[in-house]
Amino acid sequence: MPNIETTAELTEFIRGLEPEAITVSVGGEIGEVGGKNSTEEELRAFMEGYLGRLKEGMKGISKISVQTGTSHGGVVLPDGSVAKVKVDFDTIEKLTMAARESYGMAGVVQHGASTLPDDAFHMFVERGAAEVHLATGFQNMIYESKHFPGNFKEDIYKYILDKLSGERKDGETEEQFIYKTRKKAFGPFKKRFWELPQDRRWGIGLELEERFEFLFKKLNVVNTVDIVRQWIKPVNLTCSLEKELINL
């Protein structure tokens, strides 16, 4: 119930700030990360409760995250490596069909996909996933790149151990803690990241570009210019956006 009520409240807040002729893509979430896989009954219970609390005529969420066996950033083992997980693609397909046919959504969202094996990604397309979250994999590539300076990484890890130690859970090894927390260093160290020598930045960038190309092809996000032009119409927001900012 708190999830239903909070999602409805946030949807109304976002829709109230939307510029005219723009619909922000809002997503909900069911299932606890690391818990049991989501079911169609849970999706329907959430959506019926959510739509019943949403203001009449207001557009609801466009997508919904579900639990299918993964977790944000993957399951970290004591040595800092990531455990292999098995995604329940049947759940993705079943819940996507329910989300589309009964509630007009794009489908389900898959969390924690970046640590999956490469031969799994085409399955998201075949089973109808609407969105796949991949951030951790790119963060890992940066930290583990041969172009990333070792002394810089040492300074980041020292910062994590000194400044963020309060977030360390009982029984968590240092390797597990650093792996799960190092994403938080991009902010404090942003200036230093941008000031890396150009050859270092180019080296890391080329590795990321190669990975992006692989994933775009696997997830079939290629040759989409015509589709975008058909469905996405540019909107001039200059005046309305300025007015919104003034009101805020």
Say if CB 63 and CB 27 are below 8 A apart.
yes
Q: Region 77-95: what's the mean pLDDT?
A: 72
- Find all residues with CB under 8 Å of 138, minimum gap 6, and list them: 114, 208, 211
Average of per-residue pLDDT across 32-49: 88
pLDDT interval class at 101 (50, 70, 90): very high
In tens, the pLDDT along 106-159 reads 999 988 787 788 888 999 999 999 999 898 889 999 999 999 999 999 999 999
Average pLDDT for 60-71:
86
Q: Tell me which residue of 157, 137, 145 sits closest to 73, measured CA to CA.
A: 137
Burial of 205 (0-12, 13-18, 19+ CB in 10 A): middle
Per-residue pLDDT tens over the stretch 162-217: 999 999 999 999 999 999 899 999 999 999 999 999 999 999 999 999 999 999 99
Residue 25, pLDDT > 80, answer yes
pLDDT at 88: 86
- pLDDT tens, position by position, 203-246: 999 999 999 999 999 999 999 999 999 988 888 876 555 666 66
244 CB-near residues (< 8 Å, 6+ apart): 17, 19
Record the tokens describing residue 86, joined without a space: 């098995």
Q: How far apart are CA 217 and CA 99, in angstroms?
A: 25
> With 0-12 CB in 10 A as exposed, 13-18 as middle and 19+ as buried, what is 112?
buried
Asked if 62 contacts 107 with a C-beta cutoff of 8 angstroms, the reply is no
What is the average pLDDT across 13-26?
91
45-64 pLDDT per residue, tens: 999 999 999 999 999 999 99
CA-based R_g, the chain, Å? 21
User: In what order do the strands lie in the sheet containing 27-29?
Assistant: 27-29, 63-66, 107-110, 131-132
Cut 0.85: pTM above it: no
